[in-house]
Amino acid sequence: MNATITTTMPAWLNDDYGPAGATRQEMVPTPEPGPGEVLLRVRATALNAADVHLMHGDPLLMRLMFGLRRPKQKIRGIDVAGTIVAVGADVDESRIGDEVMVELGAGGGLAPFAVARADRLVTRPGGLAPEVAATIPISGGSAVQALDVARVAGGQRVLVIGASGGVGTFAVQLAALRGAEVWATCGEANRKLIESLGATRTFDYRTTDLSSIPATFDAIIDIAGGAPLRQLKRMLSPTGTLAMVAGDGGRVLGPIPRILRAVFISIGSRRSIRPVAAVAKPDINRQLIALAAEGRITPVIEQLLPWDAAAEGLARLESGHTVGKVVVLGRE
């Protein structure tokens, strides 16, 4: 490893599953990149709902993969922008010094250094700030994949349910960029913001019964996950598609029962309900970061926090009322 890289580092972590209030700073060994990996000096970390689920270990089913009794990866933060400072075997050393953004595995971004897979890296354009680039992988990537699942195209009418969060703010902009007429639900305080991002009409989710919305839709992007599926299906055009980005569910199985209900009520119907299993796709991230660099999309950042306030950022995500993204700057 490079001599300027410390052997230990402070990190924000959780030894056990639990709330953001239990997150603390602790000195841990600095990770070393293995074959096909790089070590990043973290410049910014964007927080996601996935960080909260991993922090809570919720639903319980996910613990089969991420740790039964306590998290295997104790450090939160999945989406990061950083500088390559060391490389593992099979990675070209000429990449050291490159500015990149990436989606990590289960976390590790709330620390000065993090290990990332080299095949997931996307170069960050010089004119795009690290805190902006970091917002893109999970939220932007999920939005693109949801629009693709719903086959959103120009001339269609699209409803985005839960438009003011990280995925929603990207979905509204990207659907409008495709030429769709975008309608959206959000909180009353956020309606002007969502309209500025490209929504033609907005509705306050607290006071609007979805059944009262006077239209049918070629596509519905359901990010909030709480509305009855049969109600949403009735709002679709005869060949429309509902893309489920999230879903309410039980403590054990999470959204799986809702997904199974969706499959059942879609049988024999031209109106389809499809879950969105978003995965890390560097090609999509390259497209999104180019759009951001060109100013064609604008990631919405609600809070830009110093590194020492990372636990505050996790608590904000935990509240469930974030507008756009919460980003934690790298440790100086």
Query: In which band, very low, low, confident or very high, does the pLDDT at 253 lie, cut at 50, 70 and 90?
Result: confident
**Tens of pLDDT along 8-43?**
999 999 999 999 999 999 999 999 999 999 999 999
Note whether 328 and 77 are within 8 A (CB). Answer: yes
The DSSP line for 110-135 is SSSEEEEEGGG-EEPPTTS-HHHHTT
Query: In which band, very low, low, confident or very high, does the pLDDT at 223 lie, cut at 50, 70 and 90?
Result: very high
Quick one: average pLDDT of 283-306?
98
Total length of the chain: 332
End-to-end CA distance of the chain: 20
Mean pLDDT (the chain, rounded): 94
Distance CA(87)–CA(89), nearest Å, equals 7
pLDDT at 3: 44
Distance CA(140)–CA(142), nearest Å, equals 5
Distance CA(171)–CA(199), nearest Å, equals 10
Show the tokens assigned to 171: 């979905």
Decide the pairing of beta strands 272-275 and 236-244. parallel
Q: Which residues pair with 12 in a beta bridge?
A: 25
Q: Taking 80 as the threshold, does the pLDDT of residue 4 lie above it?
A: no
Quick one: average pLDDT of 266-294?
93
Q: Taking 60 as the threshold, does the pLDDT of residue 69 lie above it?
A: yes
Distance CA(265)–CA(256), nearest Å, equals 14
For 326, left (φ over 0), alpha (ψ -120 to 50), or beta? beta
Closest CA to 111 of 5, 2, 1, 16: 5
Closest CA to 77 of 44, 101, 100: 44
pLDDT at 185: 97
Query: In which band, very low, low, confident or very high, does the pLDDT at 188 lie, cut at 50, 70 and 90?
Result: very high
Helix (H) or strand (E) holding 258: helix 256-266
Angle value at C-alpha 180, between 140 and 293, nearest 5 degrees: 40
SS3 call for 167: helix
Neighbour order of strands in the sheet with 236-244: 199-204, 181-186, 157-161, 217-222, 236-244, 272-275
Show the tokens assigned to 255: 């959204």
